[in-house]
Amino acid sequence: TYDGSNFAANHTADVIGTSSATWQITGVQLEVGDTATPFEHRSYGDELARCQRYFYRVDNSDSTSAAARFGYGHALYGTAARAVIPLPCTMRTKPSISTGGTFGVSDGLVAYDATAVSLEAVTSSDKTVCLVISSSSLTAFRPVWIEGKSGRDEFINMDAEL
């Protein structure tokens, strides 16, 4: 139970008794049981990899070109291409894919509008995502890449949340 008489005289930070007050704390580690263990320090890279195991986003917000490249592959036949996006770490499971913006397919000679981008398969290690891109007038087996078409608002989300 809150009792203000337990605090030092003239204190003004009444966190419990003040509406919308905040209390900030850092450097705390919760333990199971009654034995303390050494504090676990994780690097930024380790913490980032732990997050990317569940969600990874590829976008062209930092690109200097509106036609940023998202993945490389080859035309399967005249109306579809396959491209691979490497993931920075192993994901928890096969991710679901969502996209935004306007994508295209280019073979270095001609750029084509993409009519659909969908997930085809993920390798057994969950370290790459293979996308199938529907387009038209592609030349079978020619190398291609997926690119953004409408500026800097394209993205591909890979989500492996629980």
Each residue of 95-145: pLDDT tens digit? 888 888 888 888 877 777 777 777 565 554 577 888 888 887 888 888 988
E strand segments, 39-79 = 55-59, 69-77
Q: Are strands 116-122 and 128-134 parallel, antiparallel or unpaired?
A: antiparallel
Q: How confident is the model at residue 52 (pLDDT cuts 50, 70, 90)?
A: very high
pLDDT of residue 36: 87
Among 99, 93, 92, which Cα is nearest to 57's?
99
Q: Residue 61: phi, psi to the nearest 5?
A: -65, -25
Average confidence score pLDDT of the chain = 80
